[in-house]
Structure formats: structure tokens, C-alpha cells
Structure 1
Amino acid sequence: MPDIETPYGIVDANALQSLQHRYDTTVIQQAVDLFDTIRARCEPDGLRDDLLRLHGMAHTVINGAGLAVPTDDLTLVEQTDCILDELEDWQLVLDRMVLALRPLQDLRSETDESL
């Protein structure tokens, strides 16, 4: 397979020609939009805070520690369900991003030493 020099490095010429005919680069911008969706869902009471809250609840219930978070909100199981739902949503978004970007790996030249 011949290689071709581009402004961003040497790529496989056959793969480049194939991608030029079938790859829509707007999927990369869509990946940015998906990533922005994830980031927006983290503000201001993001997943980090939810996980810390869950840890406090679990530490109390499982380890017998003193109350670390108020008891007037979600139950331990409800908090867990919310976090799992969020992570599963993220997983779907991230899987879509991976699928969108994966074809660009085809451009790797056989002489690429970063394998």
C-alpha cells in the first residue's frame, strides 16, 4: 500500500482515497456536540458529587459509619439507580463517538512507527 504525505503526517493512500469517498467529517463535530452534552450534565451537581453522596450513603449503611449526607432525599438504591442510568447514557454516547472516529485509524501507514 502506498503512503502519501499530508500536512498532518504520512497516511495510507488507499485508505485516504476510500475515506474521501465515504467518510463524513461532520461526525467529528457531532462527537464534540455529544461530548458537550456529557459536560453540560456534569454542571453544577455532576456525577462526581453524586458519587461522593453515594459513597457517604454506602459507607453509613454498609460500614456503619455516621451519617455523612442528609437522609431526606433519595434512598441509597434510588441514588445508585440514578448514577447507573447516567453512566449507561454516557456509555452509549461514548460508544457512538468511538464508532464515529474509528475509521480514521485506517489512515495509519504501514511505516507508522507509533503502532
Structure 2
Amino acid sequence: MKIPPPNFLTTPYGDVNAAKLDDLQLGYDTIELLRQVEHLEPIMRRLKRSNGIRDDILRLHRMAHTVINGAPLSEPYQEDLWEAAAALVEELQSVARACYDIAAVIQPLADLEPHVED
């Protein structure tokens, strides 16, 4: 009886798909993970600092609450409601694209999951 070779390899960090590991060892640049950290830094600064995205959304809420619900004016006029909303939409879409790009770099490592053949 001939036993086929295993389709997984045991590593210090668990079992991985042997064929996919071979592919990554030929062409995956782990330095790219560090580059993604650099891409993440400006996003994190914008999310963490005061007057960041969180504060902008709260400001937008106050503006919308006044315009839509007739609440008393609680935010000084700086720009039109739609302009503030459009700027946030654009920024959040940019953040989403950056996160998607980072996930795409990480995905090949997730693809190392070994699969048991029946």
C-alpha cells in the first residue's frame, strides 16, 4: 500500500498547507507586512487623536440633528451639512480601501490553512 505524502507541514506556528507554503517561500516578501504597518500609522493617528473621525461624526450628528429633527443649533456653522458628510464619506472610503489593501497582503498567510483531503 502506497501512502501519499501529507499535504501539510508542521511548523513552529502550527500546521500549514505544504504546497502553498512552497509558493510563498518562492515569492512572498515578508517585508511587505512591515510596509503595511507604515500604511496603517496615518489611519491610526486620524482615528485616535482628538478632532479625529470620531469627533467629526459627532459634529455631523449635531448638525444633522438640527437640520433633520429641528433640534436647537448646537454647532457653529463652518460648512454645509452635505459638505461635512461628503468629506467624511470620502475619508472613510479611503480608510476602507487602505484596510482592504492591507488585508490583501495578509490573505496569502491565511491561505496557508491546511485542508484535510477525504
Q: TM-score, normalised on structure 2? A: 0.86
| Match for residue 62 of structure 2 among 56, 61, 80 | 56
The alignment status of 1:16 with 2:25, answered yes or no, reads no
Provide the C-alpha distance between the structure 2 equivalents of 1:65 and 1:57, rounded to a whole number of angstroms. 9
Provide the C-alpha distance between the structure 1 equivalents of 2:115 and 2:25, rounded to a whole number of angstroms. 19
Structure 2 residue aligned with 1:86:
91
Deviations 1:40-75 (A, max 9, x none): 22323110000000001001000111112112x122
The alpha carbon displacement at 1:36 in A equals 0.9
Structure 2 residue aligned with 1:103:
108
Which ranges of structure 2 fall in alignment gaps of 5 or more residues? 1-5
| Secondary structure in structure 2 of the residue aligned to 1:41 | helix
Structure 2 residue aligned with 1:34:
39
Provide the C-alpha distance between the structure 1 equivalents of 2:79 and 2:44, rounded to a whole number of angstroms. 23
Query: Number of residues paired by the alignment?
Result: 110
Provide the C-alpha distance between the structure 1 equivalents of 2:17 and 2:89, rounded to a whole number of angstroms. 41
Provide the C-alpha distance between the structure 1 equivalents of 2:97 and 2:115, rounded to a whole number of angstroms. 32
The alpha carbon displacement at 1:34 in A equals 1.4
Greater Cα radius of gyration, structure 1 or 2: 2
Q: TM-score, normalised on structure 1? A: 0.88
Q: Which amino acid aligns with 1:65?
A: A
| Secondary structure in structure 1 of the residue aligned to 2:54 | helix
The alpha carbon displacement at 1:15 in A equals 0.9
Provide the C-alpha distance between the structure 2 equivalents of 1:31 and 1:92, rounded to a whole number of angstroms. 13
The alignment status of 1:5 with 2:10, answered yes or no, reads yes
Moved over 3 A (4+): none
- Identity score, percent: 38
